């Protein structure tokens, strides 16, 4: 599976849309050791399904990986398919820390009726779900703010984390995080030169980003290991926003600790 993912990036596949040289290609153990050397205390291994019958295989792998790596959060994914409510309920009962879905790669509507009970389960449990909902790097029929907004209007207590600050639809997703009590944004690839060249973050929104971060609703995200630059670059650009030490400490540690590590 990893080889197939790398091949998509190497070929600048249809969902990639540009050259994307992956910087960290070592074995799982090598990459774990790199994170430890960087001082990363807790991290996730977020997999996501793109077809029926795939999610539980990925969930078994993620459970085994987390069991072997103490710093790794227990993660899981799901897909709109028969049995999804049952296996999500089982993973919640097993103590999964965080879920992940990728609308662009998965090619499904977050508002699919098959998922309504799942959103209800997640909202009741309070377990966070990281959602790649924005249209970057390549839009598809189900990306953009409307599908997630529809879910949140039905399940406003859902603990949602919008990946990539919602790139490139930054303002609508920022407004969602301001409106819904447990909706967050993560900084994955936001503000880095690789993203800024094609989808720059509007500097007019920075006062709202500062307030949201201090309110506990902006989280550090990196997309390690599938990034085309050094891990430290994400941290450098966040510091370069000059939003203050309190904001930086909240985003890089306190907000995530309160959400999934405490």
Q: Give the pairing type, strands 160-162 and 183-186.
A: parallel
Quickly count: other Cβ atoms within 10 Å of residue 43's Cβ. Answer: 18
- State if pTM tops 0.75: yes
For 17-96, list the strands marked E by DSSP.
Answer: 75-77
- Location of structure tokens 């967050």: 184
For 36-147, list the strands marked E by DSSP.
Answer: 75-77, 98-102, 129-132
Nearest alpha-carbon partner for 133 in 152, 114, 117, 146: 146
What pLDDT is stored for residue 248 in this prediction?
98
- CA-CA distances (angstroms) from residue 148 to 8, 162, 246? 26, 9, 30
What pLDDT is stored for residue 5 in this prediction?
75
129 three-state secondary structure:
strand
What pLDDT is stored for residue 261 in this prediction?
66
pLDDT cut 70: percent of the chain above it: 99
What pLDDT is stored for residue 260 in this prediction?
85
230 three-state secondary structure:
coil
Over the stretch 141-187, which tens digit does the pLDDT of each residue have?
A: 999 999 999 999 999 999 999 999 999 999 999 999 999 999 999 99
Q: Where are the domains of the chain?
A: 2-261
Helix axes 145-154, 170-179, angle to 10 degrees: 10
What pLDDT is stored for residue 11 in this prediction?
80
The region that residue 139 occupies, defined by phi over 0 for left and psi between -120 and 50 for alpha, beta otherwise, is beta
What pLDDT is stored for residue 19 in this prediction?
87
Nearest alpha-carbon partner for 78 in 63, 60, 99: 99
Residues of the chain with pLDDT under 70: 261-262
72 three-state secondary structure:
strand
Kindly list the strands in the beta sheet with 183-186, ordered across the sheet, starting from the edge strand earlier in the chain: 75-77, 98-102, 129-132, 160-162, 183-186, 218-219
Asked if omega into 29 is within 30° of 0 (cis), the reply is no
Domain 2-261 annotated CATH 3.20.20.140: yes
């Amino acid at each position: 599976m990893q080889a197939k993912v790398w091949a998509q990036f190497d070929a600048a596949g249809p969902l990639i849309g540009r050259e994307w040289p992956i910087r960290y290609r070592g074995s799982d153990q090598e990459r774990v050791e790199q994170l430890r050397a960087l001082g990363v205390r807790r991290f996730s291994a977020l997999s996501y399904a793109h077809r029926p019958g795939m999610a539980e295989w990925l969930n078994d792998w993620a459970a085994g990986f987390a069991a072997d790596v103490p710093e790794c959060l227990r993660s899981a994914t799901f897909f709109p398919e028969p049995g999804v409510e049952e296996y999500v309920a089982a993973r919640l009962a097993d103590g999964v820390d965080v879920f992940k879905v990728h609308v662009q790669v998965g090619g499904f509507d977050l508002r699919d009726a098959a998922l309504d009970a799942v959103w209800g389960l997640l909202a009741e449990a309070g377990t966070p779900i990281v959602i790649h909902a924005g249209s970057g790097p390549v839009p598809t029929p189900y990306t953009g703010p409307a599908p997630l907004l529809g879910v949140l209007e039905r399940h406003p207590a859902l603990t949602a984390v919008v990946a990539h600050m919602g790139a490139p639809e930054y303002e609508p997703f920022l407004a969602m995080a301001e409106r819904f009590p447990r909706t967050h944004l993560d900084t994955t690839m936001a503000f880095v030169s690789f993203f800024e060249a094609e989808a720059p973050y509007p500097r007019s929104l920075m006062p709202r980003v500062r307030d949201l971060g201090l309110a506990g609703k902006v989280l550090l995200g990196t997309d390690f290991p599938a990034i085309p630059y050094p891990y430290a670059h994400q941290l450098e650009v966040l510091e370069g926003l000059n939003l203050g030490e309190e904001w930086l400490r909240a985003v890089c540690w306190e907000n995530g600790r309160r959400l999934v590590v405490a």
